[in-house]
Each structure stands twice: as structure tokens, then as C-alpha cells.
Amino acid sequence: MNPPKNIRTLILIDTARIGGPGKGILQLLDTVCHAQHSIQVATFQSARHKSSEFIQELEKRGHTPIVLYERSRFDTLPIKKFREVLLSGKYDIVQSHGYKAHLYARIARIRVPIIWIAVLNGWTAENLQVRGYHLLDRLNIPYADNIVAVSRELGDYARRVAKDIPINVIPNAVEYKESAIQHQGNGCRNFRLGIIGRLSHEKGHRLLFQALKSLNRFPFQFFLDVVGEGGCYDELLGMVRHFGLEKRVRFLGYQKNLDVIYRSLNLVVMPSLHEGSPNVLLEAMSHGVPVLGANISSLSSIIRNRENGFLFEAGNVDNLSDELRFISTVPSDRLRCISLNARDQIRRDFAPSMRTKRFTDLYQRLVYSDSNEK
């Protein structure tokens, strides 16, 4: 059987906001060769609410998503509609992002012979419910035809969970930014830090607040912007008050336009316990903002300490404090050199076009292989 000239992929994702996975999908749509690949997005939407930020952005860019409307949390109509979409025969591949999309893909595959790619973007672990979703993922992804992990760490996890499934590591990508490089250092008296991401345990906010508490006795002035929302907000706000950091720390909540945030910062701090392929790291580097990250594999595989960023020993409050003090004294010209190195790496290794080619090459291999078997 001859393979199709135009490979048709349906991407399924459950997201209202444009987070890391959503950004990756938008990049894929913007950079794919439409003569060879046809990509459609399906997503969920509450029947009681207006179109989500993600749906609005898709439509703004000229893409018409398939919207699976939900009347309630346990509504079965979306899975019926999704199965009907696949039964139409319009698609060669279904690509799922997130536990809910993986579940839908697995259920739909019971009746629909279609190639399934499950994409692992990483997880949060903020409460028991979310950890239950992780367990659901472990049960579903072994039924995929192929798994894409956005980092080696997630790839290793996938190999443990789905031992017989082919796994590809395709890192996230980011647009190169031409914004001005912030390079205050050398003991500047208004050093603005940022921590960006969901307010959940694995992001390491607690560790950073503990480190900042110990810096209160030093002369330089630091300020921290906390960007993001999540289940740990009340606990983290309580820590800030307990440590007397109210005048130093601002909680900015969810911010749609992160470009403005990055341009205001002198340093992005990533004290994470674990990460997937962190968009925040790539975005900060693209903007020329130095990053201080925990020495975990997903960060240390990109950050070369004191060459294109900074590393500290993961989980070590004292080492984090020491590195923050050190960075505040680094001369401006040295910080600028580190920022330029980071931007060069983004332009060289993490362009969206490179990521798109990895995906389309995978699509072609899977569809051609499936056609040959038939």
C-alpha cells in the first residue's frame, strides 16, 4: 500500500492557557511544511465558558480547532465525538499531550486503527489528585505506538513504564529574541530575580525563599517576582510573611506576556527538584537573562556553569544562597558574555524549525512503516 503524499496528524491536548505544550504545538503549526503535512488540533472547552486563551490564539493564527465541548467533568460526549472524528478516516496519526488526551487516544484506538504518538511534557505533583493523573498515564502510555519525551530524564522514565514502545527524545524549542540584555551585576543595589512556573512542590519555591531569608543580612538589595499560579500559593505566601520578605517578594500570578517579565529581570532562578524540558530556561536564555538552576539533568544538560548560566547543588539552601551572592558581584561585562553565550546556544540548538523537522521525520517513519506492513 502506498503511503499518503500528505501526512495528516490530529493533535489532542487539554489546555486553556498557553503553557509549554501549547507553545510547542503553535510552533509546530507555524513552521511545518503544509505541502507535506496537514496538522489539525483538537482541544477541550467547557460548554459554559467562552473560548479559552489557547483556542483564541489558534484562531488568531488562522487555525480552526476541533472543539470537544464538555457539559460536566465526567461528560462522555467528548469521547464519542473524538472517536467519530477519528472514524472519519481523515487522519493518519493521533498525537496526544497530557494524561486526559492519552486516555482519550487509548479509548478511541479500541475501534479506530490509527497510529498513536504519546508526548510526555513533564508533570507537576502539587496534590493527591494530580499524582492520581500520573498513575493514569502509567497505565495508558504503554499502549501507544511511539512515545516522544521532551527530555532525557522523561525518556528514561518512559522506558521504565513502557519497555517495549519506541521512544524519541525531542526537546522543546523557543524563538530567538532580539530583546536587550539585562546585565546588572558587580554589587548592584537593585537586583531583580524571577521564578516562573506553576506554584507546586517540584518547582523549588520553598528552597528559594529559605535562601532569600539568609540573604536579608547582606547589603545588596534583591527583589523577587514570583510568576505563576497553583495549589501551593497559600503556603508560599505564608512562608514569605514568616520570613519577613513581604517587601522583597511579589506574587504576580499568571502572566500571558512573559516577554515583559523577562525584560525586567536580572536573573531567573530555577531551584527545581525535577523538570521536563523547561521552556522557562530556554525563554530566559533567548532573552539574554542569566539563569541560576539546580544541578539536575534536565537543566545541567543545557547550562554550562559560569559559561552560559549558573548551577547550584540541587536542594542545598546554603549553596543557593552563596551562588546568589556570587552572581550579584559578577562584573557587568562578564554577565553580558554569559548572556550572549546563552543566546547563541538557543539560536544554534533550540530553533523551532529543528524541533518541527524532528516531529515530521517521525511522522514519515511511522506512516511509511505502517504502509509497508499493510
In whole numbers, what is the pLDDT of the chain averaged over residues? 91
- Please state, in angstroms and rounded to a whole number, the distance separating the CA atoms of residues 82 and 66: 9
| Higher pLDDT among residues 374 and 67, named by residue | 67
- Strands of the sheet with 93-97, listed across from one edge: 66-70, 37-46, 7-13, 93-97, 115-120, 146-149, 167-169
**Architecture of the domain made up of 191-349:** 3-Layer(aba) Sandwich (3.40)
What 3 state SS string does the chain have? CCCCCCEEEEEEECCCCCCHHHHHHHHHHHHCCCCCEEEEEEEEEECCCCCCHHHHHHHHCCCCCEEEEECCCCCCHHHHHHHHHHHCCCCCEEEEECHHHHHHHHHHHCCCCCEEEEEECCCCCCCHHHHHHHHHHHHHHHHCCEEEECCHHHHHHHHHHCCCCCEEECCCCCCCCCCCCCCCCCCCCCEEEEEECCCCHHHCHHHHHHHHHHHCCCCCCEEEEEECCCCCHHHHHHHHHHCCCCCCEEEEECCCCHHHHHHCCCEEEECCCCCCCCHHHHHHHHHCCCEEEECCHHHHCCCCECCCEEEECCCCHHHHHHHHHHHHHCCHHHHHHHHHHHHHHHHHHCCHHHHHHHHHHHHHHHHHHHHHHC
Amino acid 10: pLDDT: 98
Q: What is the pLDDT of residues 305-356, one digit of tens each?
A: 999 999 999 999 999 999 999 998 899 899 999 999 999 999 999 999 999 9
260 C-beta neighbours (distance < 10 Å), count:
10
Domain ranges of the chain: 7-173+351-373, 191-349
Give the count of alpha carbons within 13 A of 127, CB side only. 8
Say if 7-173+351-373 and 191-349 have the same CATH topology. yes
The count of other CB atoms within 10 Å of the CB of residue 254 is 12
CATH 3.90.1150.10 fits 7-173+351-373, yes or no: no
pLDDT tens across 197-229, in order?
999 999 999 999 999 999 877 766 899 999 999
User: Is a pLDDT exceeding 90 seen at residue 26?
Assistant: yes
